[in-house]
Amino acid sequence: MNRAILVFLKLPVPGRVKTRLAKSIGDEAAAAAYEKLVTRVFECCGEASADRIVIAFDPAEKVDEVKAWLAPRLELLDSEVSWIPQAQGDLGERLHAASKVLFLEEPRTLLSIIGTDCIHLDPDLFEEAWASLAAGIDVVFGPTEDGGYYLIGLKEPQDSLFSDIPWSTENTLKASLQAAQSEGLKSFQLSPRIDVDTIDEWEQVRDELG
């Protein structure tokens, strides 16, 4: 089975990234913080044993700018890197669309989908996610301390997991687990991690990022 990481990210335009953090430190500082988070996330991806890293980027029309921005961060990756523009719609629609494209290209895939808010993605987490999927689990969640998740692992498209979910709330994970249960899907949870959305969370990880 192919082991892939699908990374969702945006071009770091001030005012378009880390908007909750920006309320405390301003748009420019929040965009700079976002770039540091992205750098660390790709370091984590490089430490994982992925066959393929797929970057789902936004905005779709800025592909050349996104590739130029990320080029220094991708130089040390041993994995194959490919690109998918994010679809229109809410987060669930974008997650489902990108994962569906990937599974159409490579059906035999153990997929871990992440964003760029969690910097504590050690290789063991990815290994545990992929191993769980290979052993018969249908969906893997990496819970965050604020009620969301930093990773979702799949081995086939699952539209039900991305429909009618209250995104970016304390009930995101709960609703996702309920959706999985309603579909009869076997789920597994990794160890909780912190993700960075607010000033308090940023201050917890800032020193780790230099």
- Go through the domains of the chain in sequence order and give each one's CATH number: 2-205 (3.90.550.10)
Whole-model pTM: value is 0.96
| Residue 123 burial class via C-beta count within 10 angstroms: exposed 0-12, middle 13-18, buried 19 and up | middle
**How large is the angle between the packed helices 63-74 and 27-47, nearest 10 degrees?**
60
Q: C-alpha 178: how far from its chain's center? A: 20
Query: If pLDDT is split at 50, 70 and 90, which confidence band does 76 have?
Result: confident
pLDDT of residue 210: 80
Q: What is the distance between the alpha carbons of residues 48 and 35, in angstroms, rounded to a whole number? A: 20
Q: Report the alpha-carbon angle 150-156-162, nearest 5.
A: 50
pLDDT of residue 174: 98
Looking at the chain, the whole-number percentage of residues with pLDDT higher than 70 is 100
pLDDT tens-digit series, residues 151-184: 999 999 999 999 999 999 999 999 999 999 999 9
Instruction: Give me the mean pLDDT over the 111-125 stretch.
Output: 97
pLDDT of residue 185: 98
**Residue among 135, 205, 149, 144 nearest 180 (CA):** 149
DSSP-derived secondary structure letter, 193: B
